[in-house]
Amino acid sequence: MTHPISPLAPASFPTLPPIAGLEAAIGRAGFYKHERPDVLLMRMPPGTRAAGVFTTNAVGSAPTDWCKQALAATRGGSRALLVNAGCANSFTGPAGDAACKRALEAAGEKLDIPAREIMAASTGVIGVVLDDSKIAKLLPSLEMAPVEWPKAAAAIMTTDTFAKGAGATCEIDGVQVNIAGIAKGSGMIAPNMATMLAFVFTDAALSAPILKTLLRQETETSFNSITVDGDRSTNDCVLLYATGQAKVPPIVDAKDDRLAGFRQALSDVLRDLAIQIVRDGEGATKLVAVNVEGAQSDASAKIIARTICESPLVKTAIAGEDANWGRIVMAIGRADQPVRKEMIAVRFGELYAARDGMVSAEYDEAAMSAYMKREELEITVTVGPGSGRARMYTCDLTKRYVEINGDYRS
């Protein structure tokens, strides 16, 4: 199916910095009826280290199970990545596990890399066993070449309406280091885990444990801080690869000050990709950042932010350009977190709708209406005297979301 490009899409795909030694190929295995690439194969140079974060959905999927086991077995040694769109290979039992393994063995034979050093990622319909014979048939025609990022990002799309990429350049102890990443995701997007598929690459020589620590920490404020519909996929996965081509001095601790610039750059890339996913939220017409302040803890603030972001009544009001702050207050109240209702305030941009537990004296309907017509909204709520805070991103809930998801399989 083809959808019109999201009105919130960036003007163009960004130019990503080069990651030395990376190769890729894309092709069409035929998981979709219509013409479109649906397979991405990537090869990394020897010495590459990898880390991943995966869905916490209890059902999971064959590819996420594979990645977790393979990363543990190889201690982060990974040389390749096989991604397919159109079939999630989730809830497919032992047959799905076997199909995943066969696909990786075929890819490994082509690349001359053991299967356990290849990560797998699948996205698409749940409950259908991966037809690995389609991948086996496609492999001989794939020619590995330097990565063309826009094409690689497009090959992993499902209901996405635009390809998503982000990159950054920074220094580690004076050595220039590059980061480039791609992601897909549009529906079944919820926080509290690695959400959707994202693959991020750096040329920095960093160990697997350091990659893992940084990835976990920075995922929290990026992919784990977005939500389109509160539905957490079975196949979510973010992988971070470090090819080691940029010879930075050995660093053994993720807390090392020399990683500050890298951490910031990684954080920027992950958040950029995460926000692009919200921008491509199914049916979205508004990008909304929700800030919660004054909560008992950051964790509590995040629960409140998520409740606001996932409230159908808040999301439909935003779609209708209605500054219905009463629904935001309702959502604060139903988050089951400690709040002081006489301190609750709700602000749209700089405009106060509510303050000190009541409608704000300075409430200006005309100014508020004008603000709500914007494409990007900033909602800030105060819930008490605490120091806990969180920032989460979401989109509005429109008829188009219902339309897209009422006939996904047909």
Near a copy of itself in 342-371, by CB under 8 A: 342, 344, 354, 356-359
Q: Which of 58, 252, 361, 366 binds a copy of itself (CB under 8 A)?
A: 58
Q: Whose Cβ is closer to a copy of itself: residue 18's or residue 326's? A: 326
Near a copy of itself in 372-401, by CB under 8 A: 397-399, 401
How far is Cα 123 from Cα 88, in angstroms, rounded to an integer?
A: 4
The residue among 283, 201, 194, 210 whose CA lies nearest residue 252 is 210
Near a copy of itself in 188-207, by CB under 8 A: 188, 190
Q: Which of 332, 372, 379, 390 binds a copy of itself (CB under 8 A)?
A: 332
The residues near 174 (Cβ < 8 Å, ≥ 6 apart) are none
Please report how close the Cβ of residue 74 comes to a copy of itself at its closest, in angstroms: 25
The residues near 161 (Cβ < 8 Å, ≥ 6 apart) are 3, 4, 5, 6, 9, 186, 280
Binding range to a copy of itself, per CB under 8 A, among 86-94, 112-120, 166-174, 202-210: 86-94
405 forms part of the interface with a copy of itself (CB under 8 A): yes
Torsion of CA 67, 69, 75, 79, to 10 degrees: -40
Binding range to a copy of itself, per CB under 8 A, among 100-108, 172-180, 244-252, 317-325: 317-325
249 burial type by CB count under 10 A (0-12 exposed, 13-18 middle, 19+ buried): exposed
| 195 included as an active-site residue | yes
For residues 204 and 50, is the Cβ–Cβ distance under 8 A? no
Q: Whose Cβ is closer to a copy of itself: residue 57's or residue 224's? A: 57
Residue position matching structure tokens 């991943």: 52
Phi, psi of 331 (to 5 degrees): -65, -40
Per annotation, catalytic residue among 195, 227, 307, 382: 195
Q: For residue 130, how far is the Cα from the chain centroid?
A: 23
Binding range to a copy of itself, per CB under 8 A, among 32-40, 139-147, 182-190, 242-250: 182-190
Tokens standing for residue 287:
């990008």
The residues near 19 (Cβ < 8 Å, ≥ 6 apart) are 147, 178, 180, 201, 202, 203, 243, 245
Could you give the count of Cα atoms lying within 13 Å of 58 in the half-sphere of its Cβ? 0
Q: Which of 117, 132, 229, 272 binds a copy of itself (CB under 8 A)?
A: 229
Please report how close the Cβ of residue 289 comes to a copy of itself at its closest, in angstroms: 20
How far is Cα 272 from Cα 268, in angstroms, rounded to an integer?
A: 6
Q: Whose Cβ is closer to a copy of itself: residue 334's or residue 374's? A: 334
Binding mask 119-158 for a copy of itself (x = CB under 8 A): ------xxxx------------------------------
Please report how close the Cβ of residue 341 comes to a copy of itself at its closest, in angstroms: 5
326 forms part of the interface with a copy of itself (CB under 8 A): yes
Positions that interact with a copy of itself (CB under 8 A): 56-60, 88, 90-93, 95, 125-128, 187-188, 190, 229-234, 310-313, 316-317, 319-320, 322, 324-327, 329-337, 339, 341-342, 344, 354, 356-359, 397-399, 401-403, 405-410
Active site residues: 195
